[in-house]
Amino acid sequence: MILRRGPSKWVEVIAWDTHRDTFDHGAWFHGRIYQRRSDLSPDGTKLVYFASKFTSKTVNDPEYTYAWTAVSKVPYLTALALWPKSDCWWGGGLFQDNYTVFLNHRPSEATPQYRERFSIEAPVARHPIGLEGVEWVDWDQAGRLAFLRRGAVWVSTVQRSEIGEPNPLIDLTADQPTRQTPRWAEAW
């Protein structure tokens, strides 16, 4: 799954089938999604995310909140579960399994009342690869180095700790916001 930022103050959610390198464009959000406080379920069908949207309505109207954690179906953002926040401290979560989320909220705001720590281990390259202008970088399920640079997704193979030449998968620079959510993404 890709959270693509841009155009200005917009985020596009894109489902990425890493086995076939196919992409399914989904929701657009006019606000901020904190990618480092978001997680994909182990089966890849659900997203827990922390988002904020600062407008006069969300800041001044007590019926609204400008920040929240939610669970949705990938690649959409319709909240299947929602935890409002009154600020941007903490927030987000991690999936333990396909239906269990550890929330990164203060104990008074969430259950369970603790946070889990996770780490990612990946092969270390012997020769550095030029990652100038990269917006994010991670490892996909096939063990490839994946990154977003100048609006395009790139991958490099890794063998014996050697990183291969980057190959472009998809150029997202022409994508523009839309506001359509299919009915299947609105229910568990």
Output the pLDDT for position 63.
65
Output the pLDDT for position 72.
92
140 φ, ψ (degrees, to nearest 5) = -90, 180
Output the pLDDT for position 73.
92
Classify burial at 175, counting beta carbons within 10 Å of its beta carbon; exposed 0-12, middle 13-18, buried 19 or more. middle
Parallel, antiparallel or unpaired: strands 32-33 and 167-171:
unpaired
Domain ranges of the chain: 31-118
Q: What is the 3 state secondary structure string of 90-101?
A: CCCEEEEECCEE
Output the pLDDT for position 116.
34
The position carrying tokens 């063990």 is 143
Count of alpha carbons within 13 angstroms of residue 33, beta-carbon side: 25
Per-residue pLDDT of the chain (188 residues; tens, 9 = 90+): 888 887 778 999 999 998 899 999 999 999 999 988 899 998 889 999 999 887 777 677 766 678 888 889 999 998 888 888 877 788 888 888 888 888 887 666 654 322 333 222 334 444 555 666 777 777 787 778 888 888 888 888 877 767 788 889 999 888 888 777 788 887 77
Q: Are 12 and 4 in contact (CB under 8 A)?
A: yes
User: Can you tell me the distance from the alpha carbon of 21 to that of 19, in angstroms, rounded to the nearest whole number?
Assistant: 6
Output the pLDDT for position 120.
29
Output the pLDDT for position 119.
29
Output the pLDDT for position 158.
77
